[in-house]
Amino acid sequence: MKRLFFLVIFGSVFFRAQDIEDQQEGFFYSETSKNFFRVDIKKPFDYYKVPGCTDDMQFVRAQFPGGDAEFKKELFMYISAYVDKEVYVVNGPFYMNINISKEGKITKLDITPKVENSGMFLRDLKYAFGKIQKKTWTPSKCNNIPVDSKIRVQLNFETESADM
């Protein structure tokens, strides 16, 4: 009985270590009975230059509470929960263009590219992002003055389907 107990503990520790290794590589996996779903959330994120902030001014970009790693973790968690992997077979890059106000609120989210029959997928992706949207970001600052800013996040999707 003791051997079985230690074997179970050893096995659970080993499998959890694999999850951590996958996350360190920058890839997140989610599996269902028929589909294998992978999302690579590219870093660093693209930050658009604020029009009124010149090169000689001090610029600090917008930050998600907990940093970029926390944003990636939460984004993947909600994509896994709300993007239906049984319905969509998604492959290739998509871009989330996020506008952040000087108060730290998300004012606009646009997802590109718009491809044929992607309406429901983009709606689910926006819904997943909406769960994160409730948190207030630290806004971008130009010479310690909060300013509106834009961020672009690249998501690379790979889906593999298997017939059961």
What's the pLDDT at 97? 92
Mean pLDDT across the chain, nearest whole number? 77
- How much is the average pLDDT of 13-35? 49
Task: State yes or no: cis peptide before 44, omega within 30 of 0.
Answer: yes
Rg (CA), the chain: 19
Asked whether residue 34 carries a pLDDT value surpassing 70, the answer given is no
Name the token pair of 125: 């992706």
* Non-local CB neighbours of 109 within 8 Å, separated by 6+ positions: 96, 97, 98, 99, 126, 129, 133
pTM, to two decimals? 0.71
pLDDT in tens, 3-20: 765 556 656 655 544 444
DSSP string, 44-69: SPEEPPPTT--TTS-EE--B-TTHHH
What pLDDT digit, counting tens, does each position of 83-123 carry? 877 777 778 898 999 999 999 998 889 988 887 777 888 88
Per-residue confidence band for 146, with pLDDT thresholds at 50, 70 and 90? very high
Residue 21 has pLDDT above 50, yes or no: no
